[in-house]
Amino acid sequence: MSGIFCSVRQLSVTYGRGKNNAAAALDGIDLDIAVGERLAVIGESGSGKSTLARALAGLLPEGTEVAGEMVWPALGHPPRPGRDFGFVFQDPGTSLNPVLTVGEQIAEGARRHLGASWKHASLRAEELLERVRIPQPGKAMRAFPHQLSGGQRQRVAIAAAIAAKPALLIADEATSALDVVVQAEIVRLLDGLVREDGMTLLFITHDIALASAFVDRIAVFRDARLVEAGPVRSVISAPESSYTAALIASHRDLTTPPLISEVAP
């Protein structure tokens, strides 16, 4: 890792308007993400972690009030959603289009953002299905999302997210709707893809045990604020915040082997 990919300074996000309707989702966040870093953002539901992901990706709803700044030293230009960022959502059942084939949905990203022809985009889609370990990728190209399992749909969503060769991959609770074994498989897959393609990863989750198995740093959020951030080993072994200590205590023993090591390649 060298250099800063993204620098967030005093970022505040407020949903709604007016004294009685406004709700602060982020409050004065300062956070740097290094080039090639795997950063996990941890916190309970409503802590602001998903709002951070959507703010970075330019996916906040219309009418949201945003203050502070986000700068992108590694890109050298304003970020282009879909091209510079790939986004994996929590539920592939709603993020994938039910009336388009798997191949069409993956190829669309390469065609739109890389200018590839449908032929070359389709070849890339099949290659990506193989990379995310979908059995019989040629056959899967013609399948519709409902014909796949939940774990397979999430793999398709990951393939679609990286179709345009993004520099940053954002996985927003991408494992929370899956069972424990499939969660570990998806984490292992994300880890491999990020390493192979040199991407930066923002991994949003409430599961500090799962994240600690493969990320470089952890940022802990609570009530729209950043509680603490640091290398995994430091945060796990000597948390600065009592809230972080409580999160660690609520999970399984973090000294046991990482979850991703329990799943065969």
CA–CA dist 263, 221 (Å, integer)? 29
Opening angle at CA 122, ends 120 and 123, nearest 5? 65
CA–CA dist 196, 209 (Å, integer)? 24
Q: What is the pLDDT of residue 144?
A: 97
Residue of 242, 246, 244, 210 whose CA lies nearest to 229: 244
pLDDT, tens digit (0-9, with 9 covering 90-100), for 131-180: 999 999 999 999 999 999 999 999 999 999 999 999 999 999 998 878 88
Q: What is the pLDDT of residue 254?
A: 52
What is the domain partition of the chain in residue ranges? 96-165
Q: What is the pLDDT of residue 84?
A: 94
Q: What is the pLDDT of residue 260?
A: 43
At 192, is the secondary structure helix, strand, or coil? helix
For every residue of 120-183, DSSP letters joined together read HHHHHHHHHHHHTT-SSHHHHTT--GGGS-HHHHHHHHHHHHTTT--SEEEEESTTTTS-HHHH
Q: What is the pLDDT of residue 259?
A: 42
Burial class of 100 by CB neighbour count within 10 A (0 to 12, 13 to 18, 19+): middle
Q: What is the pLDDT of residue 2?
A: 66
Q: What's the pTM? A: 0.90
Torsion angle of C-alpha atoms 210, 211, 215, 220, degrees rounded to 10: -160
Q: What tokens does 4 get? A: 């800063």
Low-confidence ranges of the chain (pLDDT < 70): 1-2, 18-20, 252-265
Opening angle at CA 58, ends 132 and 113, nearest 5? 50
Instruction: Scan for tokens 């990863």, then name that residue.
Output: 201
Q: What is the pLDDT of residue 253?
A: 55
Q: What is the pLDDT of residue 94?
A: 84
Give the dihedral sign, CA 139/142/144/150.
Answer: positive
For every residue of 46-99, DSSP letters joined together read TSSHHHHHHHHHT-PPTT-EEEEEEE-TTTSS---BTTTEEEE-S-HHHHS-TT
